[in-house]
Structure 1
Amino acid sequence: MVELANLIYKELDSLSLEEKINLLEKEFNMYQSNRTIQYEINDLNENTIIKLLESVMNAKSSFQITQGGEYPAKLVADIYKYSNFGESEFFDHLKILYLNDYIEYVKVEEFDIKEESPEVIYDNHSQFDTTLQLRFNLHRLYRTNRELFNEERYIGLESIGSEARMYYRFLDYGTIIDKICSYETLMRLSNKGMHYLHFFTSKRSIELMHKQEDMLEAVNEATTEQTRILDSFEQHKIEQDNNIESIHSLINNHSDKIKAFYKDITTILSIMVAAFAVIGVNLSAIPKIDSNFTANVLALNFSLILCLLVLFYILRVIVYDAPINNKHFYSIFSFAIIGIICVFIFLGFNNESKIDVIEKKYQKMLSNYTSKSEEEISIMKRQIEQLEKQKK
């Protein structure tokens, strides 16, 4: 069956009356179908409408024009690629939006219903307006066979001016809808579509603003809570610092007490060791001293004291971590050596040894016994002499 959009004016004029009626019957059927589709706008959710309108506005097209409208018109094929809808879904939504005046297509020429249609072939203009030939044929058919557009033929009503009303119905809702919603058509946003998009954008901006306000409020609450937590943390930190300082103070006090205790213990033990060392050494050494007793005992004790002083000094350095003072060390050492030398000079060398004392005592006793014996012998001799004289 021939299509109204594919006929040139000569072919249209050559059609029979029955063929023209069939063409208009098809237009009426499409009119009824598309009028039903128009109300499917209520089934589309807001996001779908906005997504398609944004695709019409933002799509990059290889072929677009800015004349004849407030917004640039772009190829439907490029809009489809940009939208990411499925093909069937895209054209169904596109048809609904067009039927509700959210988008419009580019028209190269308008036809006045009061004027006759010129005998023109519009092949050269098809690249700009795919509906031009169809609209020309519908207008020419109306001018040549106006009675075929009477409403009584389609809905059973007769009224004045019904032919013009039916013409516009076919012009706005007939098979032209399929031509408009095709890949080759140039489409743009209408004022209604732009207002709807602007309203949604404003609404979304307000929602975003409210969300941002909520977020700012939440951030402020979180900041306040963080400030409170930080203040609490600072207070706890100060308390912990005070506690740590108190603990350090207690530790230092205990350390000092422990060191003092160790010092006292060490001092006591040192004194005891020194005392027992002096006593033990003297007890073991005195019986073995044969001569020069005083000097030897003093030298022995001074040597022992020297060793003990050096030992205690080293012990002080190890136990109490005291630095070695060379001055003190050499002073002690020198004092001990000088003391020993003095003992030998002033005491040891001026005293007699034990053997000498015994020998002198023995010599004295021997001399006493000798003189006494000699006296007794002389007395006995005199007594003997007297006895001998008496015997005579």
Structure 2
Amino acid sequence: MTRAELLADDPLWLILVKAVALLLIGMLMTLFMIVLERKVVGRMQHRPGPNRVGPGGWLQSLADGLKLPFKEQVIPDTADRKVYFLAPILSTIPAFLALSVIPFGPEVSIFGERTVLQLVDLPVGVLVILACSSIGVYGIVLAGWASGSPYPLLGGLRSAAQVISYEIAMGLSLVAVILYTGSMSTGDIVDAQAGGWYFYLLIPSFVIYMVSMVGETNRAPFDLPEAESELVGGFHTEYSSMKFALFFLAEYVNMVMVSAFCTTLFLGGYMAPWPLSAINDNMFNTGWWPMLWWLGKTLIFLFLFIWLRGTLPRLRYDQFMRLGWKVLVPANLVWIVLVVALRAFRNEAEISAGTILTAGGIVLVVLIGLSFLLPERSVPDDEDRVPVTGGGYPIPPLDLVVPDRAQLAKPARQRRKRQTASVGAAEKETDQ
């Protein structure tokens, strides 16, 4: 039986078990990731991190999760209450829904029922994940608008522009994968990588997706909606108690979702790595073993999020937008055209995939080299322009002379004398 037929025969109780398992995966991974991030970043900064609650401090996030529902709820008087309450829910639910089309493993037996470790396998599973990640930004935008405060509104607007920009790059990075697979089903994409994982067959798509998924989840160095140095706390400045916890939950579940999606697209999903996959007639690719490989690959990408946060500074907004619109999107378009041309040429000439990939790599290197060798646009010397720093911010002229305190005080004394003289003249006219 095919994957779709096995899932169609699932009884109701098995569907409920899978749904509850997805909720537990999202919540438990969130609790684990919060503590892991604090410990890893603390290690990078030569400090212990959480070490009080539970063995080694590993129950710290559980204690925080139990504390938040009992915190006081502070709601601004200017808030739109209906939208204010709806926004965190709208951010959290799509993140869990996207996990429903992720394949966690092959065919297994659960209480005697043959099924696949996946809740649903849709012919357009890739589009479902993109749609869920796009809907999640509505919760952020509505949270900023409904709070009735300028700082959350600025954070929400930044997030909208950010997600739109990197959603395009992320969607384009999937085109090459869909062309190679011939399907938008996540299960078919995993099965198509039995002969080779796409992370080395489609290296440009893999790199662009990794950059896009960091921008999509508003994580450092792209955490502009929550830029503490500029916007206090970002779009959730006015949120507290359980509603704030939902935003936190949505952020980490989104991290798990994009990491699992990247594993599905480029790392063979639940398939065992090469040395193990060739042992004893694919023993490690059957049963419950593949779920362990899926979890390990997903944790690699989750560690990448933490690593970036502990090493890279936050980008400026213009740098962030320039990277998305002027680098990732054009590179994606060129790569898609190249993939389509090479596949068409391969089908006609029957050339091996290695030869095509080598030729494609040479073409990309030549294009990148030409981009560096092209001369810059010449600017006339007599053109009026403001001297700027490296990022485009104007600076004062270098020959600016600041007057001393005595020179600054002289006009003030002259102004007071003129005022005193005018008042005296007005009094004399009144007396007369």
TM-score calculated relative to the size of structure 1: 0.21
TM-score calculated relative to the size of structure 2: 0.19
Specify which structure has the higher proportion of helix. Answer: 1
Which of 1 and 2 has greater Rg?
Answer: 1
